[in-house]
Amino acid sequence: MNPIFLEDARVGCLSGLGQLNVEEYLALVNEVYKDNGGIPGQRAPLKTKTGINIRKRMIDDLKRGAILPPVVIGAVVPPSIFEEAQNCRSNSDFERLIRKIDRSTLSVIDGMQRTTALETAVAEVGEGNKLCKSIRVDLWLAKSIDSMVYRMLVLNTGQVPWDIKRQLETIYKQVLKTIESEVSDIDVFNIDEKERRSGAGQYRSTRIVELFLAFTSRKPHIEVKEKVAEDFARMEATEATANEKAVPAFIETMKLLVKLDQAFATTAMQPEYVDAGTRFSEGKDIFTSAPASIAFSAAAAQFLLGMPGYPFDFENLEAKLGTLRSSIEIITKKITDAPDKADFIDYLTLNQKVSARSGRIGEYERELFFRAFEHMFEHASNLESLTPCWSAYK
pLDDT of 36 reads 44
Closest by alpha carbon to 166, among 131, 190, 142?
Answer: 190
Instruction: Reduce the DSSP state of residue 21 to 3 states and report it.
Output: strand
The 3-state DSSP class for residue 87 equals coil
Provide the residue type at 120 as one letter: T
In sequence order, what are the beta bridge partners of 14?
A: 7, 141
Which three-class secondary structure state does DSSP give residue 323? helix
In this predicted model, what pLDDT tens digit does every residue of 318-356 receive, in sequence order? 999 999 999 999 999 999 999 999 999 999 999 999 987
The per-residue pLDDT for range 33-47, each reduced to its tens digit, is: 554 433 444 444 455
What whole-number distance in Å separates Cα of residue 336 and Cα of residue 330?
10
Query: Using an 8 Å Cβ cutoff, are 390 and 353 in contact?
Result: yes
Q: Edge-to-edge strand order for the sheet containing 134-142?
A: 5-8, 13-21, 134-142, 71-76, 106-110
pLDDT under 70: residue ranges of the chain:
31-52, 126-129, 153-172, 191-194, 222-237, 357-359
Total-model pTM: 0.72
C-alpha–C-alpha distance, residues 283 and 264, integer Å: 4
Q: Which of 315, 322, 323, 317 is nearest to 304 (CA)?
A: 317
